[in-house]
Each structure stands twice: as structure tokens, then as C-alpha cells.
Amino acid sequence: MNNSSTDLTSDQLRQPLGPAFRVYFETTARLLDNLEKRLKQQMGLTLSEYNMLLLLSEAPEGRMRMGQLADAIVFSPSRLTYQVKVLSERGLVKRVKCPEDGRAWEAELTTEGRTMFRRASVIHAKGVKNLFTNAVTDEQLTMIHRIFAQVAQNLDQVHDD
């Protein structure tokens, strides 16, 4: 098969494990691996940990219910509990009782966590710029945004078979 996407037929491109999905899958894995290596080397953070700090930094008062946070980063509740424990031991987040519901728990970003996130976000942004946004045109970025917004909407609507 030819490497040029212009030489591929619609049938070839639409194959579930065909070239379109494969290049997306392999490139995304390489991109995320590279971004994570940068964060680990320079900040000691995994990409998942960075994402958790990002979500908490954007949340009102730097807090989110544990279930809501697990859904946002696509973690099981037990995996999230473990991850919060790890970040808590590092002083980056803490578990607190939900003020509205004393039975529920929230993850809260600490002052140290905010500082770590700000430093890590500079490294992450440079990586995204160098590895992703600099590689494509503004028009292509707009297309990527539209395409993945559409895929995200489909994920929200289509339930597992």
C-alpha cells in the first residue's frame, strides 16, 4: 500500500483498523509518550498527574468531587483514589470532605500543587507547540478541532454494544 493518503480509497480509509485510524493511534501514542517523558524528566509528573492538576486548577476553588474528577480523566474510582493518594503524599493535592455532602470526598489542589502545575504547564505547552501545533497550519488545527469535537460528540451519544 502507498503511504500517501491521497492514494487511498474511501473503503481503505474507512476500515476499522485501516490507515486513518492506525496513523491517528500510533501518532497519538508517540505524541503522548514524548510529552510525558518531558514532564517526567523535568517535573517528575506523569501526563495523568499533570491532567489532574490541570483539571483541579480550572475547577472552582481548586476542588472537584472525586467521582466527577474520575469521569473527567477517564479513571476508575479506585485508580483515582490511588492517584490522589500519591499526589497527596507529594503535597500537591489533598482529600477533603465535600461541604455540600458530608458523605462525599473532593480532591483539592494545594498551594504546592498550584506552583507545580504552573511550572509544569510551561514545559507541557512548549512540548505541545514543538511537537504538535508547529507541525500543522492554522487551517489544519481548525480541522483537527472540528474533527475531534465531532468524535467526542459521537462518544457521548454512542453507547457500548
- Residues paired with residue 95 on neighbouring β-strands, in sequence order: 107
The CA R_g of the chain, rounded to the nearest whole Å, is 19
Tens of pLDDT, residue by residue over 47-82, are 999 999 999 999 999 999 999 999 999 888 899 999
Tens of pLDDT, residue by residue over 15-37, are 777 788 899 999 999 999 999 99
Which CATH fold topology does 40-120 show? Arc Repressor Mutant, subunit A (1.10.10)
Q: How many other C-beta atoms lie within 10 A of the C-beta of residue 5?
A: 11
CA 76 to chain centre: 15
Q: What is the three-class DSSP state of 65? A: strand
What is the per-residue pLDDT for 104? 87
What is the b/e burial string over 112-142, where b = at least 16 CB atoms within 10 angstroms of the residue's CB? ebeebbeebbebbeebeeeeeeeeeeeeeee
Domain layout of the chain by residue ranges: 40-120
What is the pTM for the complete model shown?
A: 0.84
Residue with cell 509528573: 45
Q: What is the three-class DSSP state of 141? A: helix
C-beta separation of 66 from 77 below 8 A: yes
The set of residues, in sequence order, having a beta carbon less than 8 Å from that of 13 and lying 6+ positions away, is 5, 19, 20
